[in-house]
Structure 1
């Protein structure tokens, strides 16, 4: 082989090796896909639309949403995990897909926190323990005392089997050592109506959904489920402040990508999301929707998701539920 041919061959090989690096450095070179595990207009859609102006400014190209509802977000999660890890496929993931879901929806060849990698945590919304004012409960302790004095009468509703509202009730019963009876409904709205109608004693469901009724005095908010007080109801204590130990539940949302996505791409998008969440205008829009920004970068978000999977395993097993 001549020197000229050898140099040409080496140059071609180096160009091939360098191509991914150049592609990553210039990422994104086109709009990127974000899979959403719910119908259009849901929380995942809204969070991405709120972030969109800042992300477009940081990254030059925007994204497009691909809604794939089904299996509590697990369908979209599996599609994302199987998509090319080329930096153009992402997922809005959440407590259902990467916290509770791994224990409910077992797939032989899919493990969400193995096959997806965290890009950034975005925001969270707490659940809220609600009761009828006529019950006379003013504190969580009042409800606990009622449950202990009236075995079998502490009924709680949920938005459906395996939802965070269901497992929040199970976790509450575990932490307080009381008997609680689950009554599932088909969504948050009918669950809240069941509380209003007196069909059930309490619910621990999506806080923004009941905020209007609480403000109108139709429902009493005894506590929020997150470790921090909710910005919309700063006067309402947390479950932990109300004497429920180790109770920290929030409907969290973030971005994830196929596990083999190039790290520079993950870091670049994660950084762009964190910058967006530092923008007061973005924070204001999230809070208008009832969410609080809850930023975490890629490595910390991955650790958080693994922790959520560990936390919910015993609760799901205690509830005896499975979607398989």
Structure 2
């Protein structure tokens, strides 16, 4: 074909290509939520929503699909059209613990079938005990359970939750076979520490913050590798002498794996811009979350590392479900 003819053909194709790839978004987009309305995922998205709307012109609508620790919503997102209008606010349960805990029909694999857009925030767990025990440090607790292993009971918000697996990991790190007592949620788990039904719990830090500040509970350490903004004087588990202990309830956005990269990049930029806004950071902190921004590549690598980390812990806990 003559060079001029080829140029003419390419020129004719350019308008069609432009029409085939319109600016995104042209309408509101869906964010699947793996829990009931009013949960942490809902609140985090609503905090960053004004900033996203300002940048993208269109906002999102939340589609709550609770079930299987967030895996139901994750699977719906993975099977959705990769058209830039389907996303999922994911978390440690869906993409870290969930791949080992819940085997989904059809071979769904969250970190293969979903693409990372951006990490948004994290909330720590906190090791709490009753003041009556007199423990001032994690070392005090460790010494006690090593001397009295039968008294080494810990509670959780349920089998397979991060509070359960945090306790299992703690036992692994200190070399003590601790006894797990599951409850139906964080509130009854915290109440069990208050009443003395269990020795300790490593559960959602914001949920127990009021009791800690009132002196009803003692916070010995927070679970992530970095300190929590609301407990600047409380050490991390690693600082307290527990090696290789880094647990955070993290949240972010993912999309169906085949979603166009320009869409993922544009939404990621909007999220990261929101998390650079001091007002947004303050609102997150008021809710009990720390902004923890990461772009697509970093977030994807992080999720894969989390899945790898939790495999041995889930197997040790015997928590695998169908």
Q: TM-score, normalised by structure 1?
A: 0.95
What residue in structure 2 maps to residue 69 of structure 1? 66
What residue in structure 1 maps to residue 51 of structure 2? 54
State the number of aligned residues: 317
State the distance in 2 between where 1:233 and 1:17 align: 53
Does residue 82 (structure 1) correspond to residue 79 (structure 2)? The answer is yes
1:110 corresponds, among 108, 111, 121, to 108
Secondary structure, aligned partner of 1:317: helix
| CA displacement at 1:115 relative to structure 2 | 0.2
| CA displacement at 1:10 relative to structure 2 | 7.7
What residue in structure 1 maps to residue 174 of structure 2? 176
Structure 1 gaps of 5+ residues are 1-5
Q: TM-score, normalised by structure 2?
A: 0.95
Tell me the alpha carbon deviations over residues 50-88 of structure 1, each in whole angstroms, 9 at most, x when there is no partner: 001100000000100000011100000000000000000
1:147–1:179 contact (8 Å) kept in structure 2: no
State the distance in 2 between where 1:79 and 1:12 align: 39
What residue in structure 1 maps to residue 265 of structure 2? 267
State the distance in 2 between where 1:230 and 1:18 align: 47
Secondary structure, aligned partner of 1:183: strand
Tell me the alpha carbon deviations over residues 167-195 of structure 1, each in whole angstroms, 9 at most, x when there is no partner: 00000011111121100000000000000
What residue in structure 2 maps to residue 43 of structure 1? 40
State the distance in 2 between where 1:52 and 1:14 align: 34
| CA displacement at 1:19 relative to structure 2 | 3.6
State the distance in 2 between where 1:156 and 1:132 align: 12
| CA displacement at 1:198 relative to structure 2 | 0.1
State the distance in 1 between where 2:12 and 2:198 align: 71
Tell me the alpha carbon deviations over residues 177-230 of structure 1, each in whole angstroms, 9 at most, x when there is no partner: 112110000000000000000000000000000000000000000000011111
Does residue 238 (structure 1) correspond to residue 240 (structure 2)? The answer is no
Secondary structure, aligned partner of 2:291: strand
Secondary structure, aligned partner of 2:149: coil
What residue in structure 2 maps to residue 3 of structure 1? none
What residue in structure 1 maps to residue 311 of structure 2? 313
1:124–1:293 contact (8 Å) kept in structure 2: yes
Structure 2 gaps of 5+ residues are 1-5
| CA displacement at 1:15 relative to structure 2 | 5.1
Secondary structure, aligned partner of 1:200: coil
State the distance in 2 between where 1:79 and 1:303 align: 22
State the distance in 2 between where 1:258 and 1:91 align: 9
1:1-324 alignment to 2 at 5 Å?
16-20=16-20, 22-23=21-22, 26-107=23-104, 108-324=106-322
Pairwise CA RMSD: 1.7
State the distance in 2 between where 1:231 and 1:106 align: 36
